Amino acid sequence: MTSVPELSFSHMGIYVTDPARMEDFYTRVLGFAVTDRGKLETPRGAVDLVFLSRDAREHHQIVLASGRPAGGGFNPINQISFRVADLAGLREMHRRVENEGVRELYPVSHGNALSVYFLDPESNRIELFIDTPWYVEQPVRVPLDLSLPDAELWVWVERDARGRPGFKPVEEWRAEFRV
């Protein structure tokens, strides 16, 4: 059996009822900076997203996502995200979770990252991802064909990212980002 690729915890998404209030709290009280914001169409409807970070090496450490209903009985965790070391590791993890028969398995490009999303056995959304060397304004979610050979995949991802608003090398974005 193949060994499990190395993973490291990266960030999490939280469903919120009042995005403006939560953004104010995380920026004013906890010192996070807004790195991006936007609306994303999902199978469950439109979601407003606010990306927050305190670290220029991390585009986001927290994502605030609209859509949390008032009252109890709702899991506010939007996703739990783990960084994988490289594309080979991402492909291996995709293979492993696919073999488990997980639900809602989908690989995507965010321009600044390549991700594999799926639901764990208790329906918690998990993201496994690798960074790309580019920044693009978020949110972006484009289906990704992980069956492409590495070189072809990277050409496709870069071409798509270059066509998106705000495209620049991630190091340039990091130099501009200040908390």
Query: CATH says 7-176 is which class?
Result: alpha beta
**What percentage of the chain reaches a pLDDT higher than 90?**
62
Domain boundaries, the chain: 7-176
For residue 64, give the nearest of 14, 130, 123 by alpha carbon: 14
For the chain, give the mean pLDDT.
91
Query: pLDDT digits over 85-124, tens only?
Result: 999 999 998 998 898 888 899 999 999 999 999 888 767 7
Q: Cβ contacts of residue 78 below 8 Å, gap of 6+?
A: 12, 13, 14, 15, 63, 65, 125
Range 63-90 average pLDDT: 88
Distance CA 109, CA 19 (A): 25
